[in-house]
Amino acid sequence: MFSFFAPAVAVMNRLKYPQKFLLVGFALVLPLMILVSQYLAGINHDLEFTSKEQIGLIYNAPLLDLLSDVQSHAALVQGWLVDPEEYEVALRARQDQINAAIETADQIHQEYGVVLEIDSAWTKVRSAWNVLQARTGELNAQESHDLHAALVNDILSLITISGNNSNLILDPDIDSYYLMDTLINKLPVTTQYLSQLREYGLKALMNKELTPGDQTRLTILSELALASAEANRVGYQYAFDVNPDLQQMLREDINTATSARDGLIALVSAQQFDNTSLSSSLYLSVAHTAINQQFMLYTRVSEELNQLLQQRLDGFAAQRNRVLLLALAGVVSAAYLFVGFYLSVRKTIATLEHSSELMVRGQVSEVLALDNRDELAQVTIAFNKIAYEMVTARDRALQANRLKDEFLATMSHELRTPLNSIIGFTGIMLMGMRGQVDDVAKEMLQRIKGSSEHLLGLITDILDIAKIEAGRLDLVMTPINIRALTDRWYTQTEVLARQKNLAFEAQVAPDVPEQIVGDSERLTQIITNLLSNACKFTEVGTVQLRVHQQDKSLIFQVSDTGIGIPPEAQEYIFDEFRQVDGSTQRVYGGTGLGLAITRKLCMMMGGRIQVRSTLGQGSTFTVTLPLQVSDELTPMAQRSLPYAS
Amino acid sequence: MLPDIPSDILKNLKIVVVDDDPGSLDVANIILLFYGAEVHTATNGAEGFELATSVRPDFIITDLSMPVMDGWTLLGRLREDTRTIDIPAIALTAHAMLGDRERAIAHGFHNYLTKPLTPNTFIRDLLSLLVDIPEIAGMLKQA
C-alpha cells in the first residue's frame, strides 16, 4: 500500500508546507473551478437565452399597436370611401396614431433590431405604410383592402421573425411556450380575422348592400375567427394544465375577449345584418370592442409571459449566485483552514525550535506544553522525552564533574600538605638550621628533596591539565607591564642559568607597548616553563628570551644552544607525558606535562606555540599571542594591583 | 645556610603565623626563628585573631583555607578592629590555587607567599615583600 503512495510521499517530502498546501489546493480547486465555471457558463447561457426572449416581447409590443392601428385604418378607409365627411377626422387621427406607432416601433427597432437580426422586414413595413398612406385618397375599396392586407401580413411576418430570432419560439417550458405561441402565432391572426370582419361588414352596412361575395367572405372569416379562437383555447389549456395560477390570472381577460368576439360574430350572422338594417356605427363600435379586447388580452398574456420569463431569469440568477457563493465559501473556508493549519504547524515547530535552541545553550526548559492533539503532539512528546533524558544526563554529568573537581581539589590538597612538610623539613636540614649534617646524609636529603619536588610538580601539573580540560581555568585579564614582568622572569630563571654557567639574555623590543592586557600568572607559567626547559637541556652556550611585536601579535621567543629536538619528536613534544624519549626524564627530570600545559594555555589565550630545532645545535620556541593594548589602567585593574608600580 | 642573608635579619620583628597544617607551621616557625624573629603560631583564623590582638605583631602570615575560620575572614576581622587595623597581613597560597593570589591582593592582603616553604625561597620572598613596607623595612638588620 505504501509503495502506491511512494511518489506522493517523495513529492511531499521535498516541499515546504505552503507549497504542500498550494499543491493540494490546486489539485482540488482546479477541477472544481473548471466544473463551476462550466456550470456558470451554462447558467449564463440560459440567462442570455431568456433575456433575449424578453427582448422579443419588448420588440413586438409596439408592433401590436401598429397592427391594431393599421387594421383600424383599413376599416376607416372603407367607411371614408362611402362617407368621407363622417370618417375624415377619425381617419386622419388614425394615420397620426400609425405614424406615432411607427415612430415608437422604430425607436425600439434601433435598440434591438441588431440583436434580433431584423432589418429588411421592418424597412419593408415602413415603406409599405408610406406607400399606403400616400395613396389612401386615390384607392378604391378593393385596392385599399389588398394593400392593408399586405401591410398586415408584413407586420405579422415581422412579429413571427422577431419571435423566431428572440428564441421565443424555442421556449423550453410548457406554460411559457403556449403563451408565446398565442402571442406570436395566434392572437395577431385572430385580430386580423376580426379586423377583416369589421372591414367587410362596415363596407356592406354603409353601402346598404350585402353582395354574395361579401356574404361568403364574412362567413369564412367568422369560421376562421372561431377556429383560431378554438386553437387559442387549446393552447391556453396546455399552459393552464401545468400552471394553474395562470388560469386564475387570465380567466377574466379571456372571458371578456371571448364574449366580445362572440358578440361580433353573432352580430354578423344576425337577421339585421343580412338585410343591412344594422346601424353601421353600432357595428363599428362592437367590432372595435371585440378587436380591442383581443389586443388587451394580448397585453395581459404578454405581461404574464414576461412575468414567467422574469421568474425564470430570477431563478437562474439566484442559482448562479448560490453556486458562486458556495464555491467562494468553499474556497475561502478551505484557505482559512489551511492558513490555520499552517500557523498551527509553524507555531509548534517554532516552539520546538526555540526550546531546542534553549537546550543547545544549556537552558533546559520545563516540560514543553502545547495544545496540539495531532501528529506533531507525538513529536512534542518525543521532544520532551529527549529533553528529560538530556536534563538527567546533564545533571548526572554535572554531578560527576563536580565530584571529580572536588576529588581533584581534595587529592591535591591532601597530597600537597605532607609533601610541603617533607620539602620544608628537608630544606631546613640541608641548610643546617638545626645542626650540621654529614655529606652522606646531605646527599640523601638532596635526593629526598628532589623527588618530593618532582612529585609536587607532577601533582600541580596534573591538576592544571585537569582544570584546563574541564574548562575550569579562567584567565584573569589585567594590565601588565611586560618589561617589569620580563625582569621578574629573568630573576627567577637566572639562578638556573648561573648554576650551569650559561649566558642568559632577555630583550624586549622598543616597539612593544608599555601596557598590555593579559593574565600575568599564566603568561609567567608559559615563559618560565620554556626558560627552565631551555636551561635544563643546554649544557654550554646561551639561553635567550626575546619579546617583540608583529602584526597585532605579541611574540615571545625562547631559544637555546642545547641538545635540540629530533624532527620526529617535534610533533609530539606538546602531547601529555611525551618527552623526546624515555631516557630524557631519567637524565633531565621534568614531569612531561610542562609543554602540554604551555600549549593549552597558549590556545586558551587565543595564541599558539611553535618549535624550530636542529639536533645538537639548539631549539627555538615561539609563542604568538594576540596583542591587547591597555591605554590606561581601569579602576578595577587598579584595585587588583595596588602595589604595581 | 644562606651566606648573603645574616641570621639575625628578623631580630626585631614579632610575627604571627597561622596555618592548620602543623608541618608547614613548624617549617615556617623554624625558619623565622632561625633568622631571629619572635614567632607566635596559631592553627586557625580565630586563634590567629586572638594572638594578633594580644601580641600585636609587626605582621601576620596566614594560610587561606583553614577550619573554624579561614584566612579571608581573619583578614576581615583584623581590618575591623582598631587594634589590628594597621597590621600587614601576608597570605600563604598553594601553587595550584593560582586565582587566589590576585584575589588575596584584591581583598587587602599586602602580598602572598607560595607553598611549599623552603628555607631558600621562603626567606628570600619574604624579605622582598617586607622591604615594601616602610615601617618594617627600617627594622630589618641589613647585612
Per-residue pLDDT tens for A437-466?
899 999 999 999 888 888 888 888 887 787
Nearest alpha-carbon partner for B91 in B71, B121, B67, B70: B71
Average pLDDT on A149-170 reads 91
* pLDDT of the residue at A258: 92
For A420, the closest of B1, B24, B102 (CB atoms) is B24
Per-residue pLDDT tens for B11-25?
889 999 999 989 899
> Please, are residues A598 and A526 in contact by the beta-carbon 8 Å criterion?
yes
Cβ–Cβ below 8 Å for A425 and B111: no
Residue A152's pLDDT band, with cuts at 50, 70 and 90, is very high
Query: Which residues of chain B, if any, have pLDDT below 70?
Result: 1-3, 95-100, 141-143
**Peptide linkage before B116 cis (omega within 30 of 0):** yes
Residue A221's pLDDT band, with cuts at 50, 70 and 90, is very high
Residue A302's pLDDT band, with cuts at 50, 70 and 90, is very high
Q: Which three cell numbers stand for residue A312?
A: 425564470
Average pLDDT on A207-231 reads 89
For B98, the closest of A423, A424, A521 (CB atoms) is A521
Cα–Cα distances in angstroms (integers) from residue A263 to residues A195, A222, A269, A270, in the given order: 14, 11, 10, 10
* pLDDT of the residue at B138: 77
* pLDDT of the residue at B141: 63
* pLDDT of the residue at A638: 37
Cβ–Cβ below 8 Å for A640 and B102: yes
> Please, are residues A280 and A206 in contact by the beta-carbon 8 Å criterion?
yes
Per-residue pLDDT tens for A358-377?
777 766 656 666 777 778 77
Beta bridge partners of A558: A545, A621
Nearest alpha-carbon partner for A67 in A102, A118, A92: A102
Per-residue pLDDT tens for A379-406?
878 877 887 888 888 888 888 878 877 7
What is the percentage of chain A residues whose pLDDT exceeds 70? Answer: 94
* pLDDT of the residue at A73: 93
Q: Does the pLDDT value for residue A642 go beyond 50?
A: no
User: How far is the C-alpha of A626 from the C-alpha of A554, rounded, in Å?
Assistant: 6
Cβ–Cβ below 8 Å for A643 and B27: no
Average pLDDT on A90-107 reads 94
* pLDDT of the residue at B97: 54
Per-residue pLDDT tens for A283-294?
999 999 999 999
Per-residue pLDDT tens for B28-49?
999 999 989 999 999 999 999 9
- Using CA coordinates, name the residue in chain B closest to A431: B1
Burial class from Cβ neighbours inside 10 Å (0-12, 13-18, 19+) for residue A571 reads exposed
Provide the 8-state DSSP code for B94.
Answer: -
Per-residue pLDDT tens for A176-198?
999 999 898 889 999 999 999 99
B101/A contact by beta carbon, under 8 A:
yes
Cβ–Cβ below 8 Å for B106 and A418: no
Residue A132's pLDDT band, with cuts at 50, 70 and 90, is very high
> Please, are residues A624 and A607 in contact by the beta-carbon 8 Å criterion?
yes
Cβ–Cβ below 8 Å for A428 and B101: no
Average pLDDT on A202-221 reads 88
Collect all residues of chain A within an 8 Å Cβ-Cβ radius of residue B65. 413
Cβ–Cβ below 8 Å for A643 and B119: no
* pLDDT of the residue at B47: 93
Residue A434's pLDDT band, with cuts at 50, 70 and 90, is confident
Residue A624's pLDDT band, with cuts at 50, 70 and 90, is very high
- Using CA coordinates, name the residue in chain B closest to A413: B94
Residue A238's pLDDT band, with cuts at 50, 70 and 90, is very high
Q: Which three cell numbers stand for residue A37?
A: 465555471
Query: Which ipTM was obtained for this model?
Result: 0.89
Beta bridge partners of A608: A624
For B117, the closest of A420, A432, A643 (CB atoms) is A420
* pLDDT of the residue at A586: 54
* pLDDT of the residue at A385: 83
* pLDDT of the residue at A577: 67
Average pLDDT on A521-538 reads 89
